[in-house]
Every structure is written in structure tokens, then in C-alpha cells.
Structure 1
Amino acid sequence: MTAAGKLKKPAQFAYLLAWVLLLLLVFIGFFGHLLMPYGLTPEDKINFQTQIINGVEKEVSPPFAPSAEHWLGTDHRGYDMLSLLLNGAKYTLLFTLAVTITRFLFAVPFGLFAGATGKGRGVISTLQLITSSVPAILFVYPTMYELIRTFELNQGVRGDDPRVFLFTAILFLLLVAIGVFPLAHQFAERAKYYHGKLFVEASRTMGASTPRIVFRHLMPHLRPELLFAFLTELVQVLFLIGQLAILNIFLGGGEKVVLADGTRFTAEVSFLMTNSGEWGGMIAYSTKFIREFPWLLVESAGFLTVSILILLFFTNQLQKRLEGIAFAPRVPVYRDKKLWATLGTTVVACAALVFYTGDQTSSAPPAQPVISQGDSTAPQSPGTRGLPAKVAQGLQDFAKQFMSYVANNEWNYAEAFLTREYQSQLRAFPQLDVRPLIMNSCAECHGAQLDSGNGRANLRDTKLTAQQIELVIKNGTTNMPAGLLTNETEIEAMALYIKTVLQQNQIPQPFNSWFDAFQNGYQYVETGTLAKGDSRRYEVEIKVTDKSGQPATWKLFVVDDGSGDRTGLYRVDGIEGVPTP
């Protein structure tokens, strides 16, 4: 066997492999979301798992490391990482493709016309020099960073928000603009080179127009260069998306996630997380946890890196093929039976994979976390799968206490009950009610509402801090005797009440509609069960009767603010079902 024969089979295999890998990349870009092993709905999240740590059974919150159930683990919300990355492929790859195509639509005609006629070559050369002398990321980052601040995208917005569309459109235009002029300059120089050839001169002598010369004479010679330039631009755009992701600039909106004290960090940490799984967003998120959870970055960056390597490998093999280095004689692509057989097999395999997994994404149940026996009696709906009993009970107790204040028109208490400080203190003395203390020790001078009913200080307007109020209660003032309250817990509770309850003088939104409902005959009956959860936002059923005595159900949305033991700090985030007055 000759040396050429020895090289032929390995080279043929590499060429076919390049096509297979490229086809798989295209397939994932268009159909990756059909291969997701888990869905991306709230029902598919894993909120908690019970794990044995140092011989002690503990409840652990996400993210979870790769396992048999979740090959790439989960993110901080409990979503499957593989599902997120497969779903996000279409956003990253199709956006990259759109940027590259748009660059070519502007650059190629402009460059070829300038090279063929000599008009505009100086402008192209100058703009190319400007855009090429500075790293592309320096053109893009300052503008996008300022847009993030202007549009308040760093506070978390939905993907369908108009600000997200405008942000993405501006990013798209910037990425197109910085790549048009170098590309136009490249083809202007190539057109200039071919323009001096004899066959072009002959065509011009025979009266051919510039468009005819470009499309009939220049384009056939430039086809291979156009193809290689297109693949190179794809790689450059993908690489730039990865660079921007490290600087926390990515496509689409994201939700703001807050990790409070006690959840693996010594201080509160907030960050944005993409809802779509877009690769740039996943890299931006995972870079923040490279030390604590390195697999997140390896997986997110791995998808982008492998895509770039596939494109580079395909470009290299195609170049060898077209140059005829490893194949003699060269077989045209359209007559290459081995190539078409390989591509056909790959397409059939991909179609079979979609057919097999396409119907499983929505119905496949998420992995069931292990729940300790003590929590097995907790009522759980599909939306709260993995929620320990004490957390579920905490949410319901919070909703019940809150609704009792609302139903009794105690709006100041209801609103103060939502503050983190008030809830934290209530956990220290949950049974203590300061209203009897007010009537016995305060009302005589400050009035029953502590609003200076008898000409004394209006405590609703006090500028003192809670600690200063405690000192006043203990030590008295010129007009107030000391020792009206002596119990430390009562003093602390009274100071807290003044700062959290009395500072809220108005019925806040969305309380107004609830107030009107109760004023118009609605009666609170009881707090029902948890309906479903979305991230840390849960629905609690509130059973009421309308003015005719007919039963009705409202949905109270409660958000877990993420306390250290995950059971104590909540806030109300709205209610559905309340009639409009």
C-alpha cells in the first residue's frame, strides 16, 4: 500500500467525523429542547434533598452535584443543568448564526463592490483599522453595561419584557457592526486581486457590468474563501459571547436569586439566573461559584467550548478536502457516497432520538428527593415536591396569621408582619401581644393608638431607633417615668412594635382590594393547603365566603426569603381571586 493509500483512510474518517459532529451541533441547535430529560417548570425543580453529612441527616438545598438522576447536577433553583443547557442551545447558536449571516449580508456586497470599482475602499480600510485595533469586547461592553443599569436588568426581568428585546437588539447590532468592516475589507482586497486578472479585463472590455463581473466571475473564485470566512466568523461570535458572559452580559432576561445568610454563604449573595438556559447566561451564573461548585462552570463553558472546537475541526477538515491534500483523486461532495451514507445515518439516528425522547420531557417526573420519616406526613402537591413538612407548615402558619390580621382589619399588624425584622423577633416571643401592654402602660398618655391623643409625643412619627426606644422605656424621660415596663422581652417587643407597626399608617397596596372585599361582606373562613410552588414563590389557598354566603377560594402568594434554617422568613407577593370593587 502506498503512502497516499495509508493516509487516505484516516483522512477520510476524520472528514466524515467532522460532518457528523457539525450535523449533531446543528441538530442540538434546532432540536436540543426536545431531548431535555426534565422540564423547566416549577413542578420539575428539586427544592430540597435529605443527605447524610458527617453521620447526621440534614436537609440540603440546591445546587446538587452530578448524579445518576441528574447527569450534570442542578442549579441553585433546583433545575436540571443538562435540560437547561439543551434548551439554551437554540438561543445561543441561532443568535450566533443570525449575527454571522447579517454580517455577510452587509460586508460581502459592500466589499466586493468596493474591490471591483475602487470606490469606498479607503472608507472600508479606515473603519477596518479602527475596529480591528481595539479588542471587540471593548466596543461592546461599556454600552451594554450602561444599558443594564439604565433598563434595570440587574434587578431581574422576564424574558418577554420589552427592555429585554431592546437590549438584545442593541447587542445584536453592536456584534454585527464590529464584524462588518474587517470582513468587507477582506473581500475588497480579494476582489481587487481578481479584478486585475485577464479574464475580468476581457469581460469588462466586452461591456459586462460591475454586478455581472462580481457574480459571474468573482464569486465562483471566492466561494471557498466565503465558506471558510463564514465558519471563522461563527467561531469569533461564539467566543465573544463567552467573553461577554464572564462580564455578566448575556441574552434574554433573568430572575434575581438571593442566597441569604446560612445558605452556604456567610453573607447575602444575589445574582441573575437565565430562565431559558442560554449558554452565555449559564456561564455568567456559574462563574460566580467557580470555587464552591466548579462543575457548574465546567458544564456551562464546556457546551460553548465543544461547539467552537467542532466548528474549528470541520473548518480544518474541509480545507484539507478542498485543497486535495489527503484525497487523490478528489470526489465531488455531491457524488461522495460514503459522506451521504454517513450523514443519512446521523439524521436517522437524531430523528429516532427525538421520537424516543420527545414525548418524555413534559411527563417525566423529577427525581424524588429522599425525605426523612419525620417529614413523611406533610401534605405535598406536585408543585411542592421535595418541600419538607416543617417548611410547608411554616408557610401555612405564616399565611394563617397574616390573614387573621387582614380579616380583623388590623392592617398595621398585617403589614408589619411581613417585615424580616418583625418576623425574626416574633420567633423569639411568638405568643406575645403588645396591645394589652399599650392599654395598661401607654394609652393614658399617648392614647390607645399611640398617636398623641392626650397631647404627648406622637409615637407614630418618632425618629428614635428601636434601641433608643428601649432605653427610653427603661430609663424614662423628663415627661415619662421610668419602669412602666420592666420585663426585657416586653420592652423589646414594644420597641419593635413602635418601629414596625406604627411606622405603617396607610393601608398599602395590594391590601386595598382585600380591605374593600371584607368591608363588602366577605368573611375569612380558613387557610387551606399549599397549591403549588414557583421558585420560592408558593400559592396558599385562602377559603372565604362572599356576601351571599357562597364559598370562594383566593390564592395567596407567599415568597420564602431564605432564612438560615429555611423555615422562618416569608413575605406576601400578591393574591388572586379577590373581586374588584
Structure 2
Amino acid sequence: MDNAFLGPVAWLRHDRRAAFAAAWLLLLVAVALTAPLIAPYDPAEQDLGNILAGPSAEHWLGTDDLGRDYLSRLLFGGRVSLLASIIATGVGLLIGVPVGLISGFVGGVLDNILMRIVDTLLSFPAIVLAISVIAILGPGLTNAMIAVGIIFAPSFARLVRGQVLAVKGRLYVDAARTFGSAPHLTILRHVVPNSIQPVIVQTAFLMAVALLAEAALSFLGLGVQPPTPSWGEMLQGAARFISRAPLQVYPAGLAIAVTVLAFNLLGDSMRDALDPVAHSERRLLSRRRLRPE
């Protein structure tokens, strides 16, 4: 039985990639929600007499250059980084999906105008466009993630437009039009449900990209502003004192790497689950390769 026809629990049991990704992301969400309860210290509390200390019984991951507990900042930083991914991807969805739906369904001159705007945005290097938006809105987590969301919007728009163009010529859409269904009802009842699967997969992949973008912008000082912790901001501080406390680059770096890997594995697994034909072909090809001569 293919993953597309399994329940969520059976799907996770069947696909180890999805199980690992889901377990890590659920753990991250749990830590983000309970950070004030499980963090041993206030992440902004300074101990200037104990700066850049190594791991100890009091500070399991040591302290940073201002004597703040590194473990506490790592836990609160996960909350900020996860929130940043949600904001950026949400902005991209809110802008890109309606543009793609309207462009693909209406077509004509409006389609040409919207797609030329999308092509213009895609022509800019992503980091340059993000820095330009932040220069207008000002630094900060929300503004940085709005900038990243604007970068994501063209990808969602083009993906949705392609799906709508493939769906709107189907017989059930023509039948809805024939029976007098209003355009917006036709889109909501027939076009969106049959175009949404690739968007779900793309969302998982772009959550990973958003987390990396937030880390990069915070590393450059354009994202989260001190004393609020985020994994990118923590890497910036650790990089400045890497000769004195080389171990401090690893916790935040590993947290970013594992979370990005989890989002990508979940996206790969959902792509297989939502496309059972392609999954069956890949599985058959794998069996042929493993079959002894």
C-alpha cells in the first residue's frame, strides 16, 4: 500500500525519513512552547564575571561573551527561528498563492502583467532583495521575515499558476462553468483542492530556506536584534570569539543543520506520499537494482 493511502501514524511508521523529521520538529515546537519553563536561566541575564566559560554543572553549554547562559539562549533561539520560518513562509503563501490562482485562472492580459512582475522579482538576487526591503522597513525579525516572504512569493505564484493551468481545462471545471458556477466558487471548490498538493510540499522546503535566511540575516545584524536570541545571532557572537571559545559555534550550528535537514526530509517524504505513481516507480526501480543477477 502506498503512503498516499496510509493514515498519518502508519505513514510515519512506514517512512523513517518522515518519522525522524516529524519527531525532531515536534520536539522543536515543544521546546519553543515550554522554553520559559525548561530554560535554566533568563536568556538575557548577564554574569560579566563569568564570560566565555566552558561547559560546567551550572552552565551545561557554557556562557557567551556577556556571561549569558548558552543553553537558555539556544532554547529561546529555537522559538525565534521557528517563528521566523512560519512568518516568512506565511507571507509568501499569502502573496504568491492568490497571484498564481488569479493569473492562471483568468489568463490573458492580467496573466501577462502579473507574470512580468513575478519575473522581475525573480531577476533580483535573493539576499540583495531582502536587504533592500529591510533597508526600507528597518531591521528586526518581523521586517526581515516579510522581506524573505516577498522573495518566496514568486516561487509560490509560478507553482500555483502552473497547477491551475493544468487543472482548469479538466472536464469537472468545464462542467462547473456550464452549470453557472461563479468564478470564485469554481476556484475554491474545484481548482484549489486539485492544485494544492505541490504547494504543501513546497511549503516544507521553503520553511528550511526561511530558517537559513533568518540565520543569515541575523548573522549580518539585519534580523533579530540583541538581546533577543536566535540561532543566527548566536552564531555571530560565537564567530567573533571562536579563538577563545571554539565549542560555542557547534550547538547553534548543529541546531540549524538538523532542523533544515528535517524540513527537507519531510518535504521529500510528503512528495512521495502525495505522488503515489512516482513513488511506486522509484520503489520498483530500487527493487530491480537490488535484485541479484
Cα 1:146–1:229 change in 2 (3 A) is closer
Cα 1:41–1:19 change in 2 (3 A) is closer
Cα 1:296–1:145 change in 2 (3 A) is farther
Cα 1:230–1:146 change in 2 (3 A) is closer
**Equivalence for 1:181:** 154
Deviation at 1:9? 10
**Equivalence for 1:171:** 144
Structure 2 distance, partners of 1:182, 1:104, is 10
Deviations, residues 22-74 of structure 1 (Å, cap 9, x unaligned): 211222232233221223364xx4443xxxxxxxxxxxx51012234322211
Deviations, residues 504-562 of structure 1 (Å, cap 9, x unaligned): xxxxxxxxxxxxxxxxxxxxxxxxxxxxxxxxxxxxxxxxxxxxxxxxxxxxxxxxxxx
Structure 1 distance, partners of 2:134, 2:156, is 23
Cα 1:173–1:134 change in 2 (3 A) is same
**Equivalence for 1:578:** none
Structure 2 distance, partners of 1:92, 1:10, is 28
Cα 1:231–1:104 change in 2 (3 A) is same
**Equivalence for 1:113:** 102
Instruction: Indicate whether 1:306 and 2:258 are aligned.
Output: yes
**Equivalence for 1:418:** none
Deviation at 1:193? 1.5
**Equivalence for 1:538:** none
Structure 2 distance, partners of 1:229, 1:198, is 27
- Contact in 2 for aligned 1:62/1:74 (Cα 8 Å): yes
Cα 1:97–1:295 change in 2 (3 A) is same
Instruction: Indicate whether 1:18 and 2:21 are aligned.
Output: yes
Cα 1:276–1:236 change in 2 (3 A) is same
Instruction: Indicate whether 1:34 and 2:43 are aligned.
Output: no
TM-score for both structures, normalised by structure 1: 0.42
- 1:42-441 matched pairs, under 5 angstroms: 42=45, 45-48=46-49, 61-119=50-108, 120-142=110-132, 144=134, 167-252=140-225, 274-324=226-276
Structure 2 distance, partners of 1:286, 1:241, is 17
- Contact in 1 for aligned 2:273/2:279 (Cα 8 Å): yes
Deviations, residues 242-267 of structure 1 (Å, cap 9, x unaligned): 22233222213xxxxxxxxxxxxxxx
- Contact in 2 for aligned 1:15/1:317 (Cα 8 Å): yes
Structure 1 distance, partners of 2:201, 2:124, is 24
Deviation at 1:142? 4.8
Deviation at 1:295? 2.0
Deviation at 1:303? 1.9
Deviations, residues 323-374 of structure 1 (Å, cap 9, x unaligned): 347999xxxxxxxxxxxxxxxxxxxxxxxxxxxxxxxxxxxxxxxxxxxxxx
- Contact in 1 for aligned 2:242/2:248 (Cα 8 Å): yes
Structure 1 distance, partners of 2:143, 2:152, is 14
Letter of the structure 2 residue corresponding to residue 108 of structure 1: V
Structure 2 distance, partners of 1:84, 1:9, is 31
- Contact in 1 for aligned 2:100/2:160 (Cα 8 Å): yes
Secondary structure (helix, strand or coil) at the match of 1:69 reads coil
Structure 1 distance, partners of 2:135, 2:179, is 55
Deviation at 1:293? 2.5
Letter of the structure 2 residue corresponding to residue 204 of structure 1: R
RMSD, aligned CA: 2.8
Deviations, residues 258-317 of structure 1 (Å, cap 9, x unaligned): xxxxxxxxxxxxxxxx32222232122222233432222222222222221111122222
% identical aligned pairs: 25
Decide which structure has greater helix share: 2
Structure 2 distance, partners of 1:145, 1:314, is 34
Structure 2 distance, partners of 1:314, 1:215, is 27
- Contact in 2 for aligned 1:92/1:279 (Cα 8 Å): yes
Letter of the structure 2 residue corresponding to residue 132 of structure 1: L
Deviation at 1:229? 1.8
Structure 2 distance, partners of 1:217, 1:322, is 18
Deviations, residues 388-429 of structure 1 (Å, cap 9, x unaligned): xxxxxxxxxxxxxxxxxxxxxxxxxxxxxxxxxxxxxxxxxx
Letter of the structure 2 residue corresponding to residue 214 of structure 1: I
Deviations, residues 116-136 of structure 1 (Å, cap 9, x unaligned): 111532223222222223321
Letter of the structure 1 residue corresponding to residue 180 of structure 2: G
TM-score for both structures, normalised by structure 2: 0.80
Structure 2 distance, partners of 1:234, 1:250, is 16
Deviation at 1:168? 4.4
- Contact in 2 for aligned 1:88/1:279 (Cα 8 Å): yes
Deviation at 1:196? 1.6
Deviation at 1:211? 1.3
Structure 1 distance, partners of 2:202, 2:87, is 15
**Equivalence for 1:271:** none
Deviation at 1:191? 0.5
Count of residues paired in the alignment: 269
Cα 1:118–1:230 change in 2 (3 A) is same
- Contact in 1 for aligned 2:101/2:160 (Cα 8 Å): yes
Structure 2 distance, partners of 1:300, 1:315, is 23
**Equivalence for 1:529:** none
- Contact in 2 for aligned 1:249/1:281 (Cα 8 Å): no
- Contact in 1 for aligned 2:84/2:214 (Cα 8 Å): no
**Equivalence for 2:290:** none
